[in-house]
Structure 1
Amino acid sequence: MRIFIKSGITTVLGLLVWTSAAKAEDLKSTQLKVANQSQTSSVKLASKTPSGNYGANLATKSPQNPALSDAIVFLDRKLTLVANNPKNTLQDRLRQSNEQPSNLAPVASVKDISSLFPADAPLVGFISIKRENWESLTRFHLFHMAKETIVKFMPKEANFNYARDIQSWLGEEVGVVFMPKVGNTPVTMESTFAMVFPITNDMRVQSFLDVVKKDKERVKIREYQGVTIFEVKTSKSEIPATKPLPAPKAAKPATQPFPEALQKLKNRRQNNLAIAVFPGYVALGLDSKPLEQLIDTKNGSRANISANPELQALTQQHQAPGVLFSMYQNPVAYMALAKDLIKDIAKDFPSEANGILSASLLSLENINLEQLKAYKSINSTLRSQPEGMRFQIQSYLVKLTPEEKLKSANKSVKNQREQAIIARMPAATYSAFTGSNINLYWQALSRSLETIPEVKKGLGGFREFVKNTTSLDFDKDFIGWMDKEYGFFSFPTKGGLFKFFSPNANFGIGIIVKTGNRTVAENTLNKLEQLFKSSSNGETIVNNTNIKGQNVTSWDVKTGDFSPLAYSWIEQDTLLLTSGFGAISDLVPKPYVQLSDTYNFTTATNSLPYPNKGYFYMNMGSSLSWMYGFIPQEYQQNEFVKVAKQAIGSIYSISATASQTEETQQADMLMVLAPTRK
């Protein structure tokens, strides 16, 4: 199936760089032994079943995704044959002994790769296949587990060896491109997707092509502007199917079947793989058309994207240590492409999945393209750092609007006040979200949403409902006074609102808001208190209490120990509001240990940009401890639950922030990970 070929080719090389570390020795020793290893491997393959039945067993036991398996196995078999070539074995020895043959080319950089991509490409990506980058991930327990899982799902037929199959002839980066849409012609995966691999060993590439040419039944060869293109049919079984030998009853399959839903995916057309080789590069696609566009760009008949300033910034970032993936997007062109691709991919999925894809398409249709024109490009990178994994998005602005300038003004002063808000949160906080000026963001958001007729109608109905029930204006009385810094957080507490639903809920919610208009805030609270008392037929009361010198107002039920809401003006301009009296009593006058002083929070936020627009933070340890309490005891010993808990539990925290300059908007997310357990 095309989508799996695409995703497989895109990710498998990087993932196999990582997973093959368990199989491969260091490059130095591997290169000396590669021929012997390949011959030994062939002997083992031949000896497993008599009379060629091994191939049939492979066909029955591989994961039930023939297109992906066929694509991987086709390439893998050809690469293995290349590795057996005595000329290549000799060259490996020369490389190992530092004698450089004349046919070794310098390694192409991502900047060089980008010169092959058209200037109007909607999406360009770069994947690092540096062995050290991927191997370093296994120092984290989460990726150590993921590596073991990926190996289980790889086709059994694949005999991948990174040192032999990649490092011996490919460069350190892979380029990915989606070609621009032409006119009103719908885009498909075949017509747009291509990958480019820099090559460092011409002899190894020529050996690969010689092997491919021999497969005359599958391979069609043609020329385009002096470049040879190989069009390969990959969905036909490589080894003729024969009746497999009966497997021993106790035997377990070496690979795990794909989930049942994937078995329903429709293989609606022939699966193809197109290969083109021109000086310094190998290009792959699902069809030859995007490869022709690459050749046109390389020959200079169309402009390339390498001079684009935003792409140049991305290529610079991609060179930083630990970067695994980076991507450039032209927002407007990409949106047009994405709409067509969702429609194309939907044809491969069973009817029960179409609802999800239709919803995705509807959400794209509702995006205002005029607003996207405010952005030159959106760049993103994924990299590892000592604490864990870092994901970053940078949006390059055409120009900063007055509204955006207002949002970014006085950032350092705002950040100091936000830090004071974080100091009001307890150390064991489950999650927190801070920022400034809810009122401004609400105005911008509501204006944006009101461009969608259905949403505009819904917002109008909501405002009318609030007005009728509370006699208050939602925009002015609820949101209007929230014009300074704020913080939302959840935390462990044995009292308050959620105790009513479960005695062991151990959960509370808090909101801290700084305001420039306390009078409006107090007026709103007073009116809501009157509504609370009048609508309960005398069963509720508003209490004023003093906790260690701090005045607290709580809404309580006269009978029983139930308090749904409490608040306190902890500073002249700062309101703390929580889910009940029991919850607020843990926070005033101050938490015993403040969130801002904890190791977990500082580790999660210290490497994020500062000044910024606020933080998102989730303490995975305390959050998971709370959530596990809801898992019934009979499921606690379930093997799947155990593995899931082990994987998720290796994430210490997730944090994020947004920042802005005159030219860019930036979002950063950090996942702090536990080290691999010995």
Structure 2
Amino acid sequence: MPAKKSNLLFPVLATGVVVASGVTAYVYFRGGFGDGSSPLASAKIVPDEALMASFISTDAQTWSKLQKFGTKEAQDLVMKSLQDLNKQALTESNIDYEKDIKPWIGGVMVAVLPANAVKSTQATPASSEPFDVLAVVKIRDKISALNFANKLKALKDVKTQETDYKGLKITQSSQGTSQPTYSTIINNDYVAIAPTKQAIEKAIDTFKGEPSFASKQGASSLLAKGTDLKNPLAQVYLPDYGSVVEQLIKSSPNSAQIPPEALAQLKQVKALAAGIGVDDAGLRMKAVADVDPQLLKNQYQTSSGKLLEVFPAETIAVVSGAGISKSWNAFSQQAKNIPQLNLGLDLARVQLQNYNLDLDKDIFGWMDGEFAFGAISSQQGLLAPVGFGGALIIDTTNRPQAEATLSKLDNLAKTGLVSVAPRDIGGKSVTEWQVPAQGALLGHGWLDNDTVFVAFGGPISDAIANKPSQLLNNSDTFKSVTGSFPKPNGGYFYLDVEKAFAVAATKGQVGSIPPESKAIIDSVRGIGMSASSPNDSTSQVEMLLALKPSAK
């Protein structure tokens, strides 16, 4: 972005770069703003044509919770980035955030409008861009806002021009040769800012009584409820998700490549709210969608998580869930309506048939129960160079088919430089693929009548077949990362960042990580994600970035 244009964003009430890039850092290190507006109140100024809207909270207590987390190195890194932002965007304009902006700015809503939603006039032609942007900023302190506006007018090279529209003044501001920005004060409580005059006129029309984003079907409840995060920092609202997807695709240069059938499937998601918040564990992200019940019926299945009790405490990462065969069948049916995807699946089926394997029956057909796949640290045998191996555990109601598939794979292995032989591990018969003079490459066996495992690396076979005394689901990190997710759910994604970093360190990879990245990694304890469905038309995904507490 050219320097003149970057500087202009701040002279015109400073919402663009400040809110998007600097607000988080300032609040993190210097305390919160104070009370701001609510999403619902701000949305009453946004036109109902808006495709989506986001709201950034300025509640002091919410933002102050971030100060509990992060290493000193990470805090120094963010502070340096903040200082660089100041130098690039504020210094040349002689604007001081603490003195000039922080005292008056409240909650911020940024909305995306289709360009054809704003009426063009001969004097103000419509934008050539497919979308327009409107920011609505709560004025928390009117005197401070007035002082800031007066300071802007006195800045060098800043030109302003005012016009009247339905009793309100629209200010056009520009600096040097940069593009103008338009703003207006609404009811002495909000300032609306946009790159086009038409968007400001639409905001005024909305304030004067035209339909608003808040009155849009489904938007009011979405704005009021949001994502139910405990302390939301920012949230995004899409009350008509299907329409947004359609318009985004149409504006894309590759839109002709997307078949109508694929678009119809995307539009099965009707409305969406997503947000990020902070709680005692760290940063929590959550998305809640109103979906077609048929979508959940075809693709969602709850998981008890019982297979996680098999993994040892040395597990670095794990993905669990249920109903692979159900999801595969739904995917295959949907693929039939998408020629390119269906062709790819047909080619895969033909390739596997050359090895006497049926993709649908032999590979996915018997995987109808719960599953878990994990990466487990190990420094032994074939795993020594990489530092970890893996294990896939699956519950099935069709053991004969599972055994037939594994037998076919064993026969394929025998045609290469691999010997296949059974080995007794803790009273369980495990079939291993042995690489001469190197050890076991893979092993598979049954933990009980319905649960099969496939382990990558001999030490992993031992760890899974012999139930370890120290289990993953009893570890403090796993419980802190996944314990707050809703239950029942569809499974977990879990990553122990500390263990993963330790494995990288033993393999000499830490030296290749930039110091800035290492500072961030050292602040993270683990990452968790889970999907759930509280009812037959709601799907939600929750992710937690578990952070380490800051040093006292």
Does TM, normalized by the shorter one, top 0.5? yes
Shift of 1:663: 2.4
Q: Which has the higher strand share?
A: 2
Of 190-199 and 510-519, deviating more is 190-199
Which stretch of the first structure deviates more once superposed, 209-218 or 450-459? 209-218
Alignment correspondent of 1:590: 467
SS of equivalent residue, structure 2 residue 385: coil
Query: 418, 424, 430: which one pairs with 1:552?
Result: 430
Matched, 1:483 2:368: yes
The change in CA–CA distance for 1:136 and 1:552 in structure 2 (over 3 A counts) is same
Equivalents in 2 of 1:556, 1:362: separation in Å? 50
Q: Distance in 1 between matches of 2:475 and 2:135?
A: 45
- Partner residue of 1:333? 243
Aligned to 2:123: none
Q: What is the identity, as a one-letter code, of the residue corresponding to 2:483? A: N
**Matched residue of 1:475: which SS?**
helix
For normalisation by structure 1, the TM-score amounts to 0.71
1:148 counterpart = 2:79: yes
RMSD: 3.3
The one of 438, 443, 448 equivalent to 1:566 is 443
- 2:67 maps to 138
Mapped to 1, the partners of 2:279 and 2:261 lie a distance apart of 34
- Structure 1 residues 589 and 540, CA, compared in 2 at 3 Å: closer, same or farther? same
Q: Which letter does structure 1 place at the counterpart of 2:218?
A: P
The residue aligned with 1:432 is: 318
Q: Contact 2:182 / 2:197 at 8 angstroms: preserved in 1? A: yes
Aligned-partner SS, 1:289: helix
After TM superposition, the structure 1 stretch with the greater mean CA deviation from structure 2, 202-211 or 476-485, is: 202-211
Q: Deviation per CA, 1:430-468, whole angstroms, max 9, x where unpaired? A: 110000010111122233345443332222111100111
Structure 1 residues 608 and 331, CA gap change in structure 2 (3 angstroms): same
Q: Which residues in structure 2 correspond to 1:278-357 (within 5 Å)?
A: 278-279=186-187, 280-306=189-215, 308-317=217-226, 321-329=230-238, 330-339=240-249
Structure 1 residue 553: Cα displacement = 1.2
Residues 28-85 of structure 1: CA deviation (Å, up to 9, x unaligned): 9xxxxxxxxxxxxxxxxxxxxxxxxxxxxxxxxxxxxxxxxxxxxxxxxxxxxxxxxx
Judged with a 3 Å threshold, the aligned counterparts in structure 2 of structure 1 residues 308 and 6 are, in CA distance, closer, same or farther, namely: farther
Q: Cα distance 1:629–1:641, how it changes in 2: closer, same or farther (>3 A)?
A: farther
Q: Per-residue displacement from partner, 1:81-139 (whole Å, max 9, x unpaired)?
A: xxxxxxxxxxxxxxxxxxxxxxxxx9642211111122342111100122343343132
CA change 1:340–1:194 in 2 (3 A) is: farther
Residues 377-419 of structure 1: per-residue CA shift (max 9 Å, x gap): 111010001111000001112x411x6236556x4xx41xx2x
1:462 maps to: 348
Q: Percent identity?
A: 24
Q: Structure 1 residues 669, 576: closer, same or farther in 2, change over 3 A?
A: same
Tell me what 1:56 maps to: none
1:83 aligns to what?
Answer: none
Partner of 2:439, secondary structure, is: coil
Output the amino acid matched with 2:425.
I
More helix by share: 1
Alignment of 1:505 onto 2:370: no
TM-score normalized by structure 2? 0.86
* Superposition deviation, residue 15 in structure 1: 5.3
The structure 2 residue matched to 1:599, chosen from 476, 482, 503, is 476
Q: Secondary structure at the match of 2:242?
A: helix
1:615 corresponds to which residue?
Answer: 492
Secondary structure at 1:315 match in 2: helix
| Contact preservation (8 Å) 2:229, 2:275 | no
Shift of 1:18: 4.5
List gaps (5 residues or longer) in structure 2: 121-125
Task: Determine the structure 1 residue equivalent to 2:111.
Answer: 177
Show the 5 A alignment for 1:507-546.
507-533=388-414, 535-536=415-416, 539-546=417-424
Sort the Cα spacing of 1:393 and 1:107 in 2 relative to 1 into closer, same or farther, 3 A.
closer
Q: Which of residues 610, 618, 626 is equivalent to 2:503?
A: 626
Q: Map residues 134-213 of structure 1 onto 2, 5 A cutoff.
A: 134-141=63-70, 144-156=75-87, 157-158=90-91, 164-171=99-106, 173-182=107-116, 192-212=132-152
For residues 28 and 476 of structure 2, the distance between their equivalents in structure 1, rounded to whole angstroms, comes to: 34
Q: Which residue matches 1:658?
A: 531
Moved more, 480-489 or 285-294: 285-294
User: Following TM superposition, by how much is the alpha carbon of 1:321 offset from its aligned partner in structure 2, in angstroms?
Assistant: 4.6
Q: Which amino acid aligns with 1:474?
A: L
The gaps in structure 1 that reach 5 residues or longer are 29-105, 237-269, 344-357
Instruction: Give 1:207 deviation, angstroms.
Output: 4.2
1:515 partner amino acid: T
For 1:187 and 1:527, locate their aligned partners in 2 and report how far apart those are by CA, in whole Å.
62
- Describe the shift of the 1:583–1:25 C-alpha distance in structure 2 as closer, same or farther (beyond 3 A): closer
C-alpha contact (below 8 Å) 2:323/2:370 kept by paired residues: yes
**CA-to-partner distance for each residue in 1:322-367, whole Å, 9 max, x for gaps?**
2110011232232244347666xxxxxxxxxxxxxx7xx7887888
Change (3 A) 1:20 1:615: closer
2:455 equivalent to 1:578:
yes
| Correspondent of 2:58 among 129, 152, 157 | 129
- How far did residue 313 of structure 1 move? 3.3
